[in-house]
Amino acid sequence: GLLSFQSWFVERRWQPAVRKVQLPEDVRATPQVAAALEEADFVTIAPSNPFVSIDPILNVYPIREMITDLPEMVLAVSPIIGGQAVKG
């Protein structure tokens, strides 16, 4: 069944094993977020869990499209090195 991230991570301590991550659909960025991206000199995507932090942000319309179309620099720092998550 469905389980919120907070319940799974904090209350259940990563149990049971995750089979699928489900994100809300039809989420839109506020006009302020869109304006900030339009005015940005650069965008940094900080290292974090790609499934519960980065992907949900990129799935907020039109953030992914705006970042892809930015003429300015976009820097993404990966928490995955050699197929393993890096912490600290």
- Give average pLDDT by consecutive 10-residue segment, the chain, 88 residues: 89 91 90 93 83 87 90 79 76
Q: For the chain, what are the domain ranges?
A: 27-85
Report pLDDT for 7.
Answer: 93
Look up the pTM and report it. Answer: 0.68
Residue 81's nearest CA partner among 51, 47, 39 is 47
> What pLDDT was estimated at residue 10?
92
- For residue 88, the model assigns a pLDDT of 58
Adjacent-strand bridge partners of 44: 75
- Residue 33, burial from CB neighbour count under 10 angstroms (0-12, 13-18, 19+): middle
